[in-house]
Amino acid sequence: MNHNDSIGCTVNECKHHCKDDNFCTLNKIEVVKHDCAEKTLECTDCGSFKIL
């Protein structure tokens, strides 16, 4: 499966995930923040996620 070498990802529940070697298949993703103040890793997320 073709993937983007610049976007590593382990979210195998996502439609865009490359299961062969844990990368994303999109050319670009949108990283988003949640409502909380951006002080922890958990406050950021992939906004391009699509459920399988």
* Binding interface with ligand SF4 (CB under 6 A): 7, 9, 11, 14, 16-17, 24, 26, 29, 46, 48-49
> Which amino acid makes up residue 38?
E
Phi-psi region of 22 (alpha: psi -120 to 50; beta: other; left: phi over 0): left
* Minimum distance, C-beta of residue 43 to ligand SF4, in the bound complex (Å): 16
Nearer to ligand SF4, 11 or 43 (CB): 11
- Residue owning tokens 């976007």: 7
Q: From the CB of 42, what's the least distance to ligand SF4, in Å?
A: 15
